[in-house]
Amino acid sequence: MAGIGDDCAILRIPAGHEALVTTDLSLEGIHFRREWHSPEVVGHRCLTRGLSDIAAMGGEPIAAFLSLALPRNLPQGWVDQFLKGLLKLAETFHVTLAGGDTAESRAGILADIVVVGSVPRGQAIRRSGARPGDRIYVTGRLGGSAATLKLLLSGRKLRPADFQGHFHPLPRVEAGRILRKKRIASAMIDISDGLSTDLAHICEESGVGAEVLAEAIPLASIGKPACAVDLNFALHGGEDYELLFTAPRSKRVPSRIAGVPITQIGQIRRGKHISILDPMAVRSELRPQGWEHFRLRQ
Amino acid sequence: MAGIGDDCAILRIPAGHEALVTTDLSLEGIHFRREWHSPEVVGHRCLTRGLSDIAAMGGEPIAAFLSLALPRNLPQGWVDQFLKGLLKLAETFHVTLAGGDTAESRAGILADIVVVGSVPRGQAIRRSGARPGDRIYVTGRLGGSAATLKLLLSGRKLRPADFQGHFHPLPRVEAGRILRKKRIASAMIDISDGLSTDLAHICEESGVGAEVLAEAIPLASIGKPACAVDLNFALHGGEDYELLFTAPRSKRVPSRIAGVPITQIGQIRRGKHISILDPMAVRSELRPQGWEHFRLRQ
């Protein structure tokens, strides 16, 4: 790492590795609201989005770049706390904030995060590697972030500590790396837009269909006392930042990886249909409804 | 290049090279106005900012990433023409648009451009390499972009073809690459904030002072019939995207590089002072006044 105070940052990509690059916008009113999300939470979630994309390729994050457009009247304290949240997460994953840009926004806060990582040449886990017969897995539990958002939208005041999946989601970098190193996953994506949408991305890129068992989907528990979320949040709610991956039947997939539970939720099928089986074995189409339904601006 | 349709783009950095990364925001009302700048011009200028940073390190651009926040009511035609302008320049420099993100903006258009490039390990031209006795050079001619902006601010209607330095600035990628390959430049920066500000960056990072000859500064000619700009635009006006570099006395510096004229404008001195000598050899301090004076929002 060099180049701070230069026109570009200079990054050393390890020998035999390829570079990974991902960019994600976070906008006030779309991805967060100042009355719900503390600046520290906004900073944390902003970087999580980028790190989660690196995790989804089985990569190792190296550096982050932050472009901020800020309203003229925004208190400096907000920016300081935002950076504090972002830098704390960066430190956890040994990522350097290596550059960026700032400008004045005419309305609302906008942050664009770029994360650069690396992966041994040819070993990035793509979305296109799923094959009929592969099993479908997810890390962690789903639906917690969207269910929390629903509570916020209904006007509930929440204690962030009881809803960490929404306020402080952790990107699954270590799990992604192990899935790549042990050559377990045939295809992978992070669940940022919701299971139904992100599974559809894998199926489309791989040219396959899928069958999901409703009963098998691990539901997040939120609040205190903790309560499991409705299946619809797990199927269609975004911003869980868990990993969705496929693995050939022949692979032994551990029940935990890097401390995170791994759950089989279905199988890849020939064809193009993505279906879901309810507990009575009734089959219906699983349409990608994704995150759009849970946007802040409803 | 791979990874389109994946969570990250996968970039191959040539063996023995380091990666260069730069990010630049372009905001409506700050960097452009829709009534003055066609969408194609905005797209061109947006990418120029990133490519110029790669040029300033002596690097080779590889890929660009574009994050766009757009007002809901923006016509699709605007976006199409913006991309057309950006992609045409990308093609000229063999750069792939490899990813990005889009979101809805509450006010105004915002584009964040990321350019990734590469440079042989340890050979990036930094801002910190200038030494007392080095000569100071610029590519091309200065002040054209800011002088054009002044005309726009005064309400003049301009024909873009007569003011190409403002509407279609060309990043000096080839000149930067040659200056690095031939090991001519000891320090380099692109003139995006104005000569006085960017020279101050080199002096600060190198721990040196400088002396500039007012008479030596190559003034841009703009309009039809073409007319040389005032010295103040060349000293303090931004967005010329020429290169400012230093070279040891022992180096032979050609009068043209990659078709671009090269002009010696002064020398690096010991100490911290940056001074300018007028045609009567009267010395005054050259304070960094830079781009802020020429912002759209005056």
Mutate to test the interface with B, among A54, A112, A242 (most CBs of B within 10 A): A112
Both A132 and A110 in one domain: the answer is no
Q: Between chains, do B101 and A7 touch, taking CB under 8 Å as contact?
A: no
Q: Which of A120, A135, A167 is the last residue of a domain?
A: A120
Both B47 and B181 in one domain: the answer is no
The distance of A54 to chain B (nearest Cα, Å) reads 7
What's the DSSP call for residue B203?
H
Q: How many whole angstroms separate alpha carbon A35 and alpha carbon A45?
A: 15
Q: Say if A6 falls within a structural domain.
A: no
Q: What is the pLDDT of residues B19-61, one digit of tens each?
A: 999 999 999 988 999 999 999 999 999 999 999 999 999 999 9
Q: How confident is the model at residue A259 (pLDDT cuts 50, 70, 90)?
A: very high
Q: Say if B230 falls within a structural domain.
A: yes
Q: Between chains, do A18 and B12 touch, taking CB under 8 Å as contact?
A: yes
Q: What is the CATH number of the domain that holds B42?
A: 3.30.1330.10
The distance of A86 to chain B (nearest Cα, Å) reads 18
Can you give the pLDDT at residue A141? 98
pLDDT above 90 covers a percentage of chain A that reads: 91
Q: How many whole angstroms separate alpha carbon B193 and alpha carbon A69?
A: 18
Nearest to B69 among A5, A25, A59 (CB): A25
Tell which residue, B51, B25, B48, B55, has the closest CA to residue B139.
Answer: B55
* Cβ contact A32:A297 at 8 Å: no
Nearest to B190 among A7, A65, A104 (CB): A7
What's the DSSP call for residue A246?
E
Q: What is the pLDDT of residues B239-288, one digit of tens each?
A: 999 999 999 999 999 999 999 999 999 999 999 999 999 989 999 999 99
Total number of domains in chain A: 2
Both A216 and A249 in one domain: the answer is yes
Flag whether pLDDT at B294 surpasses 90: no
Can you give the pLDDT at residue B298? 37
Residue of chain A whose Cα is closest to the Cα of B61 = A8
* Cβ contact B165:B148 at 8 Å: yes
Contacts of B11 in chain A (CB under 8 A): 18-21
Can you give the pLDDT at residue B85? 98
pLDDT above 70 covers a percentage of chain A that reads: 96
Q: Say if A3 falls within a structural domain.
A: no
Contacts of B198 in chain A (CB under 8 A): none
Contacts of A5 in chain B (CB under 8 A): 127-128, 201, 205
The distance of A2 to chain B (nearest Cα, Å) reads 10
Q: Which of A56, A90, A120 is the last residue of a domain?
A: A120
ipTM: 0.92
Both B64 and B180 in one domain: the answer is no
Contacts of A98 in chain B (CB under 8 A): 21
Q: How confident is the model at residue A181 (pLDDT cuts 50, 70, 90)?
A: very high
Both B273 and B175 in one domain: the answer is yes
Amino acid at residue number B188 = M
Q: Say if B11 falls within a structural domain.
A: no
Q: Say if A69 falls within a structural domain.
A: yes
Both B137 and B267 in one domain: the answer is yes
3-class secondary-structure state, position A40 = helix
Q: Between chains, do A69 and B24 touch, taking CB under 8 Å as contact?
A: no
* Cβ contact B253:B135 at 8 Å: yes
Nearest to A21 among B11, B56, B59 (CB): B11
Contacts of B298 in chain A (CB under 8 A): none
Q: Between chains, do B117 and A29 touch, taking CB under 8 Å as contact?
A: no
* Cβ contact A189:A198 at 8 Å: yes
Q: What is the pLDDT of residues A198-240, one digit of tens each?
A: 999 999 999 999 999 999 999 999 999 999 999 999 999 999 9
Q: What is the pTM of this model?
A: 0.94
Q: Between chains, do A65 and B20 touch, taking CB under 8 Å as contact?
A: no
Residue of chain A whose Cα is closest to the Cα of B128 = A6
**B94 token code pair:** 């063999």
Q: How many whole angstroms separate alpha carbon A62 and alpha carbon A22?
A: 12
Mutate to test the interface with B, among A8, A114, A179 (most CBs of B within 10 A): A8
Phi/psi region, residue B140 (left: phi>0; alpha: psi -120 to 50; beta: rest), is left
Q: Between chains, do A110 and B69 touch, taking CB under 8 Å as contact?
A: yes
Q: Say if B155 falls within a structural domain.
A: yes
Nearest to A6 among B29, B63, B126 (CB): B126
User: In which order are the strands placed within the sheet that holds B9-11?
Assistant: A96-105, A60-71, A110-120, A17-27, B9-11
Q: How many whole angstroms separate alpha carbon A53 and alpha carbon A89?
A: 15
Contacts of B106 in chain A (CB under 8 A): 27-29, 107-108
**CA-to-CA dists, residue B81 to A32, A146, B43, B87, B145, angstroms:** 31, 36, 8, 10, 22
Q: Between chains, do A124 and B6 touch, taking CB under 8 Å as contact?
A: yes
What's the DSSP call for residue A107?
S
Contacts of B28 in chain A (CB under 8 A): 106
Both A85 and A174 in one domain: the answer is no
Q: What average pLDDT score do residues A119-136 get?
A: 98
Q: Between chains, do B103 and A30 touch, taking CB under 8 Å as contact?
A: yes
Contacts of A105 in chain B (CB under 8 A): 27, 107-108, 110
Both B79 and B158 in one domain: the answer is no
Q: How confident is the model at residue A5 (pLDDT cuts 50, 70, 90)?
A: confident
Q: Which of A95, A120, A145 is the last residue of a domain?
A: A120
Count chain A–chain B contacts defined by CB atoms under 8 A: 203
Q: Between chains, do A22 and B11 touch, taking CB under 8 Å as contact?
A: no
Q: Say if A52 falls within a structural domain.
A: yes
Q: Between chains, do A106 and B28 touch, taking CB under 8 Å as contact?
A: yes
Q: What is the CATH number of the domain that holds B225?
A: 3.90.650.10
Residue of chain B whose Cα is closest to the Cα of A63 = B21
Can you give the pLDDT at residue A277? 97
Can you give the pLDDT at residue B290? 62
Both B140 and B252 in one domain: the answer is yes
Residue of chain A whose Cα is closest to the Cα of B118 = A10
Both A194 and A96 in one domain: the answer is no
Q: Say if A79 falls within a structural domain.
A: yes
Range of the domain at B34: 17-120
Nearest to B69 among A19, A27, A127 (CB): A27
Both B138 and B241 in one domain: the answer is yes
Both A94 and A191 in one domain: the answer is no
Q: What is the pLDDT of residues B127-177, one digit of tens each?
A: 999 999 999 999 999 999 999 999 999 999 999 999 999 999 999 999 999
